[in-house]
Structure 1
Amino acid sequence: MSNNAEFDYLKQLIQYRLQTYFNKNTITVEPKLPSLKEWELHVPIIIKDAQLSDIEKTIIILALSPHFDSGFLDTIIQDELSSNGDFPKLGGVRGKNFRGFLPTGETAMFLLGGNSLQKRRGIQEIFDTDHFFAKKRILWLEEAPEGEPKMSGKIVFSQEYVELFLLGKVSRPAFSMKFPAQVIETEMNWDDLVLNGETLSQIQELQTWISHGNTLLNEWGMYKKLKPGYRALFHGPPGTGKTLTATLLGKYTGKDVYKIDLSMVVSKFIGETEKNLANLLAKAEKTENILFFDEADALFGKRTNVRDAHDKYANQEVSYLLQRIESYKGLVILASNLKSNIDDAFVRRFQSIIHFPLPKFSERLAIWKKAFPSKIRFHSDVDLTLIAQRYELSGAEIMNIVQYACLCSLKANKKTIYQTDIINGVQREFQKGGRVMR
């Protein structure tokens, strides 16, 4: 069965409650909950700091038990009820895939409240929406079918907290309709990123917040005066380093960076966009990772003048998004080509608005010099200074040209880069953007 002190306690509690119920004349002693220090589960800091009651701690163990051992509850209950048949007072349900006993609110009330009306009321309050468990999305009651008692809903334990308790860490959420975001990573370093001095200085401020934000809010007591989390707007032309900067911020602060797939968040159906975003944020904020909304205009664009019911709802949707993003405890980065496309209500609430302009001559030259592989050599006709001076290109466009020129060399079975191939690559980029090359 189990050698864990906490689950041994739960087994004894179930046996105690069933024996005292069916054998009222039997004198038994109610088992004592072991202290958190005796638990073999990985108890998260948030639980240690919460100063929970013994009843609240027991509900955690009860809710975790099916995840710990699928047959744990069934074995104990069947041993005790072998001569008593079914026992509705104990509650419990069976899942769709999971065939074991899943505890419900009724299970918690019976085990911890017995026949005491006062205790049973107290347990119901633990499952209220304003309780610590619900606010932190640790555990809650699944909504019961209409017309059935609220406490008949099964106890749902957040998968993230299940992993924290059982494994001591949270695995990355898988990309799905419920979590339309993917981790973005890079092999590049800060030295590979070329930005102007002002932009770089503002990025360093973001890095400082990620590293020291919790100290500011909690140890310095600023949580009463400042809102949780940090919101930044990256704006500027495509290819100027917005996505790479977000990725590097995560790489150098130990945070995952989730790039949101807006096509899966934004829905034409009323209420679905809010629901999609709420699901996404609820999962992401367990670890306070970085959320990156690329082309954020689609989700956070300007509100319209109200002409019909659809416009009114769209404006309500934007207001909801604003409130939800403000409550996120981690870093949220919105990226847009134009700052003017973002709704003013969002702009006022950004702690940082960072401009990513097209690189100047000196910056373009630095990008050109860093971009080519170290194994190649340049033909004598290559003049990167002239190219950088003559052609205004973004960093992403320069990388496209470098790739084209390198492929031309590989095709010719050479390790030499020629000016002609670079110029042809420049021309291709200008044509893609509908620009005239001079």
Structure 2
Amino acid sequence: MSTTKEFNYLKALIEHRLDTYFEVDNSGQPSEIPDFKDWQLHIPKNIKTQKLTTLERTVLLLALCPHIQSNLLDSIIQNKLQSTGDFPQLGGVRGKNFRGFLPTGETVLFLTAGDDFEKTKEVHQIFDADHFFAQNHILWLEEAPDGEPKMSGRIILSQEYVELFLMGKASKPVFSMKFPAQIIETEMTWNDLVLHENTLSQIQELQTWVTHGNTLLHDWGMYKKLKPGYRALFHGPPGTGKTLTASLLGKYTGRDVYKIDLSMVVSKFIGETEKNLANLLAKAEKTENILFFDEADALFGKRTNVRDAHDKYANQEVSYLLQRIESYKGLVILASNLKSNIDDAFVRRFQSIIHFPLPKASERLLLWQKAFPSKVRLHQDVDLPNIAQRYDLSGAEIMNIVQYACLCTLNEGKKTIYNESVIEGIQREYQKGGRVIR
């Protein structure tokens, strides 16, 4: 990798700058930085289309160097400074585990600005919060200790972008305290999903946005008028297909669906919930995956009247969540049993509010007919139309009943399901919810 054009440029730049500083006879000038098309590294699409300046591309190379060519910076610096010892003007720090040279903001200043005040300002602007690098969570400066210059912080390059530059794709985030979310998948298809026709129509609109949203925003130029991303609220009783729908949306649009573990996001400590959510979203939005917040009331519930400091910070927390979710570039789905539990400020900002009602008798019949495995047969005493008409059940409850009836049949060594097993399963589901069969 050390022979690639991009790192040869960086090597020449560092050597030339050090020779110039120490007034070593060096009449040569470093060549111009190669175009992205000549880089051996993979260039992420959003960076390739940004038309970065020479300075911005140089900062990228410096940030990448310890991750891609870990010994390059040390070999150049040690060769040039072997007779001078320490050289603080070059900046740089050593890591805890990695003992090589890690560039800082001071390193960029020395290599690209020198004593030029205007160029110094340009370097500072690259590390501003409103710069393309920061807004896309590509690279930033580590916060310096109190009282020390900002540019003494080391350059941090997002691990996701290290992988994108090196491998051409980022690995999927692993479930952890820093990323409390897991991928949910399903073997089912759209044909297995039974929903009210109005609900299904709205779901199809979501699928259209995930498929064509980038075309609308960028190719059609609507990014100036529309906020990035899409926010949808799924509300309705448990077991009506909210989670399955989210899984199918991911399956048929080629997106991973991450179900957020709210128990690991919400914290009793002030500021921790915001920090946890910020970390999660920063990791997820690299590939614009679908985020699914089940039982979202815990995180996006109504704000309260301020009675004490706890209420004040709780309300600030909700306000922060509102802002952060609005800036997420992918699809965010919040699921709740009751729409009324979600804060009105969130509700106003949803592009879609989709109700998942309990299935009607005709829909329940479809669910019953689709639920039983093909390798068993129903005894003639199993009257599915009558069962569907008589018992008010959700899709999840029907699947629980079918599972129970199938296990009863397997236990008896048979392949025929009898009405008695189905009714017993229905009774069990009714008892769970404190209901009585009439």
- Name the stretch that deviates more: 335-344 or 16-25: 16-25
Range with greater deviation from structure 2 (36-45 or 245-254): 36-45
Please state how far the C-alpha of 1:25 moved relative to its aligned partner.
Answer: 4.2
Matches within 5 A, 1:215-364: 215-364=215-364
1:53 aligned onto 2:53: yes
TM-score by length of 1: 0.97
**Contact 2:301–2:343, Cα closer than 8 Å, also in 1:** yes
Q: Which residue of 2 aligns with 1:153?
A: 153
**1:173 partnered with 2:173:** yes
Indicate the SS of the match to 2:202.
Answer: helix
Superposition CA RMSD, Å: 1.3
Q: State the Cα distance separating 1:375 from its structure 2 match.
A: 0.9
2:400 match: 400
The Cα shift of 1:28 comes to 2.6
Asked whether the 8 Å contact 1:291–1:332 carries over to 2, the reply is yes
Indicate the residue corresponding to 1:97 in structure 2: 97
Aligned length: 438
> 1:82, CA displacement in angstroms?
2.1
Partner of 2:141: 141
What residue identity is the alignment partner of 1:55?
L
Q: Distance in 2 between matches of 1:225 and 1:152?
A: 39
The residue type equivalent to 1:86 in the other structure is D
Residue deviations 1:169-190 (CA, integer Å, cap 9, x gap): 1111111111111111111110
**Aligned counterparts of 2:57 and 2:377: Cα–Cα separation in 1:** 66
Name the counterpart of 1:207. 207
CA distance in 2, matches of 1:392, 1:244: 20
**Counterpart of 1:138 in structure 2: which amino acid?**
I
| Paired AA for residue 238 in structure 1 | P
Q: Is residue 292–residue 334 contact of structure 1 (8 Å, CA) maintained in 2?
A: yes
Please identify, of 423-432 and 412-421, the stretch whose mean Cα deviation from structure 2 is larger.
412-421
TM-score by length of 2: 0.97
Aligned ranges 1:41-80 → 2 under 5 Å: 41-80=41-80
Q: CA deviation at 1:24?
A: 4.1
Amino acid aligned to 1:76: I
Is 248-257 or 27-36 further displaced after alignment? Answer: 27-36
Question: Contact between 2:19 and 2:25, CA under 8 Å: does it hold in 1?
Answer: no
Q: Distance in 2 between matches of 1:118 and 1:222?
A: 35
Q: Conserved in 1, the CA contact under 8 Å of 2:255 and 2:289?
A: yes
Q: Which residue of 2 aligns with 1:186?
A: 186
Q: Deviations over 1:17-36 (max 9, x none)?
A: 12222234432313321111
Q: Structure 1 unaligned segments of length 5 or more: list them.
A: none
Q: Is the CA contact (8 Å cut-off) linking 1:20 and 1:28 kept in structure 2?
A: no
Specify the SS of the correspondent of 2:253.
coil
- Give the drift of 1:123: 1.2
Q: Distance in 2 between matches of 1:86 and 1:130?
A: 34
C-alpha distance in structure 2 between counterparts of 1:246 and 1:139, whole Å: 32
Tell me, what secondary structure is at the counterpart of 1:252? helix
Correspondence for 2:107? 107
